[in-house]
Amino acid sequence: MRLPILCAALALAAASAGAGASDIYQWTDARGITHYSETPPPAGTPYQTRRITNTGASAQPAPAPGGDAGTNPQCAAARANIEILTSEGPVQQEDAEGNARELTADERARQLDLARAAARAYCADEA
């Protein structure tokens, strides 16, 4: 799951709450690592732009090269997570050491809330 990425995005939004609105650039490098920055990525890198408002909310992302919902891997991951978390049966998550453990009902509900928030943020048709 992409919980660390979502947590980083939320932390970035919270940190900019008092600073007024600003643009945040998000892109994924060749190794699959997602980056967030106040400066654009290297030339030729597909990215998304997000406007972080003074309330910490992420406004609808501005269109950016390669950022439509059909090709957005974060959107696809969020939707896959929602499907898994709403299915029947146990759901497991790896801890920091790579050990799998089953989510409790409360943890599952929190993860579902996070996945739905990610879908609203990354999927253009979820806004």
- Where do the structural domains in the chain lie, given as residue ranges? 3-126
Give residue 43's pLDDT.
79
DSSP code string of 36-104 = EESS--STT---EEEEE-TTSPBPPPBP-TT-STTT-HHHHHHHHHHHHHHSSS--EEE-TTS-EEEPP
Q: What is the pLDDT of residues 28-62, one digit of tens each?
A: 887 788 888 888 888 778 888 877 766 655 555 54
Give residue 18's pLDDT.
44
Confidence class for position 127, pLDDT limits 50, 70, 90: low
Average pLDDT of the segment spanning 5-28: 60
Give the range with max mean pLDDT: 12-21, 35-44, 74-83, 107-116.
107-116
- Model's pTM, two decimal places? 0.45
Give residue 16's pLDDT.
44
Average pLDDT of the segment spanning 90-112: 86
